Structure 1
Amino acid sequence: MSLRSALARARYFVREFSGEAAYDRYVAHARSHDPNAEVPTRRAFERARTDAREADPREGFGCC
């Protein structure tokens, strides 16, 4: 395996583990269903994702 290949694999796993790839998957999915769909910015997407995660009692983000 070349160094470039190893770095590409490492980048892939870091992006998947950190959740950074979620936005890219969301945009690809939205564009595949409606090419003219308005896609939120990465910041808006992450904010909505965080809000949804915090609102879910199973996630354990609630206070007290």
Structure 2
Amino acid sequence: MRLRQVLSGLRWYVREFTGEAAYDRYCERHRGSNPHAPVPTRRQYERLRVQHQEDHPSSRCC
């Protein structure tokens, strides 16, 4: 049982680190607010995220 907890924690960490969990959260919010609209693919989501960061550079120093 302890091994399962360790593996679960490791899986959570890797998903948060790679951004996969952020995409899953985005999909859940998207489905909740736009149930009839198609959910963007992971590639489309990444493009939207990068575009948003470029349009709103307040969190970067340069």
So what's the TM-score if we normalise by structure 2?
Answer: 0.73
* Structure 1: runs of 5+ lacking an equivalent: none
More helix by percentage: 2
Number of aligned residues: 62
Structure 2 runs not aligned, ≥5 long: none
Q: CA deviation at 1:14?
A: 2.2
TM-score, scaled to structure 1: 0.71
Higher relative contact order (CA 8 A, sep 6+): 2
**Runs of 4+ in structure 1 over 4 Å off:** none
| Match in the other structure for 2:8 | 8
What CA RMSD, in Å, does the superposition of the two structures yield over aligned residues?
2.1
Letter in 2 for 1:38: P
Identity %: 48
Distance 2:37 2:20 in 1: 21
